Amino acid sequence: MIVPDENTSYRRILIVAWPIILSSISVPLLALVDTAVIGNLGDAALLGAIAIGGMIFNFIYWGFGFLRMGTTGLIAQEVGREHWLDVRAILYRAGLLGILIGVSLVLTQSLIASAAFSIIDGSHSVESAAMEYFQIRILGAPISLANLAIIGFLLGCQDTRGLLVIQVSVNLINIVLDLLFVVVFNMSVTGVALASVLAEIFALGLGMIFVAGQFRRRGLSLRPAWVEVWQPRALVRMLAVNRDIMIRTLSLTFGFAWFTNQGAAGGDITLAANTVLIHFVTFSAFFLDGIALAAETLVGQAIGARRRRLVERIIVLSTHLSVATAIMMAIVIYLSGNLVISVLTNVVQVREFAAVYFLWVVAAPLISVWCYLLDGVFIGATRTAEMRNAMVASLAIYLAIWWLTKPFENHGLWLSLMAYYVARSLTLFIYLPRLIRGVEEPKT
């Protein structure tokens, strides 16, 4: 683990960041294999089922992403204070909360399925296959949500190499099981869902090995005393942090769902072109998020150690690296755009339509870089109330600008999305001086 100090450098931040970036890039590979094994069964309905099922679970797990984000900030601060008993207690509180939420999702799966499929307008064959996928995949919810707590723990401890090992191993296991269940045993969408559940179980076991290693190096056992975990004040704080992050995440989810929905309202070509273009935005986000997550854990530890000047230094260095990364991503997107669009779609109308709006995605990394970085800083500082307020205000600004720019059609939609990034950055930046002033200095 790299403990931040006054000599924290670009190199130290990059050492924390690069495993996060690599582990993030490995995720689309799994989605690609899922699509390939099902897409070669000769039934388009099965491919649609995987897309719908994946969308449902992405929404569920993203909605409970506070189990990762809140855990990272709380643990990073206790690591900075070197309070390892508290670190262990936070992990178990978050893990137990994730399991309880996951069990609740399993018990209420019929209600979740009814709500989800009432919104989705798919054919009978697509929805039938998607339901098969859902009924298997939902059984892994307690494990998946507990894994979010472990990811938050590893990030808070700066064990990003451990995170990389887990992510890559799990994706490889998932891919092997996909091929075994679908290609060999002909289990179709059920096999894809079962592969995901078994891979999550493997992730939990591997994650606990890394957790045990962290505790063993501090002379602690993996098993805590119940009295450490059951601390009412600490539980209330964790729930408050998670509540704020959940509101913030739901607002963010709504914002991007709105973008997709308005693209669909513009017609099939508009929707298809926007879907192609948003892949560029997502790809650049992997790299920008890597620096932001490194800043998240480093800022959290510096705040725990009560080093205000170090917090300022980490923010400055992370800003330089984030801006450099954004410029690099903009150049890569600009140079590779035509080739990537031609690979993603062979529909001439979609290619031509995407080309009209291509410069928006070239600009996206340069515009969004600030909100990614500030998100990391505020999560590390566990200033989640400010994040909640900033996101709700930004969403209102986004929708207002979309309404004002409706006459410009899809250009107006992309402009409103860029304005959303700017609003998220500015609303958090307003709070930044107060965050820095709030860092306690060590008593002398």
Question: Using N-to-C axis directions, what is the helix angle for 268-304 and 308-344, rounded to 10°?
Answer: 160
Extract the tokens encoding 233: 């004040």
pLDDT recorded at residue 1: 52
Angle at 408 between CA 406 and CA 414, to 5 degrees: 85
- Contact at 8 Å (CB) between 224 and 92? yes
Other Cβ atoms within 10 Å of 223 Cβ, number: 10
3-state helix, strand, coil in the chain (%, to 5): 85, 0, 15
| Rounded-to-integer distance, Cα 223 and Cα 228, Å | 11
pLDDT recorded at residue 37: 75
- Contact at 8 Å (CB) between 278 and 263? no
- Contact at 8 Å (CB) between 166 and 22? no
In sign, the C-alpha dihedral spanning 252, 144, 3, 300 is: positive
DSSP string for 195-253: HHHHHHHHHHHHHHHHHHHHHHHTT--SSPPHHHH--HHHHHHHHHHHHHHHHHHHHHH
pTM for the whole thing? 0.85
Among the listed residues 340, 339, 32, 29, the one whose alpha carbon sits nearest the alpha carbon of residue 172? 29
pLDDT recorded at residue 36: 67
Rg of the chain taking only CA atoms, in angstroms = 22
| Rounded-to-integer distance, Cα 387 and Cα 244, Å | 8
Extract the tokens encoding 298: 């480093």
pLDDT recorded at residue 49: 74
- Contact at 8 Å (CB) between 53 and 34? no
pLDDT recorded at residue 111: 93
Write the secondary structure of 340-361 as one string of H (helix), E (strand) and C (coil): HHHHHCCCHHHHHHHHHCHHHH
pLDDT in tens, the chain (444 residues): 555 555 678 888 889 888 888 887 766 666 667 766 776 676 666 766 777 777 788 778 878 888 888 899 999 999 998 999 999 999 999 999 999 999 999 999 999 988 888 876 666 787 788 899 899 999 999 999 999 999 999 999 989 899 999 988 988 898 899 899 988 888 888 998 999 999 999 999 999 999 999 999 988 888 888 888 888 888 888 888 889 998 998 899 888 878 877 887 787 788 778 878 888 888 899 899 999 999 999 999 999 988 999 999 999 999 999 999 999 999 999 999 888 888 777 778 888 888 999 999 999 999 999 999 999 999 999 999 999 999 999 999 999 999 999 989 899 999 999 999 999 999 999 999 999 998 877 665
Which residues have CB under 8 Å from 177's CB, separation 6+?
A: 191, 194, 195, 198, 199
Which residue is listed with tokens 């339509």?
A: 353
pLDDT recorded at residue 7: 61
pLDDT recorded at residue 31: 64
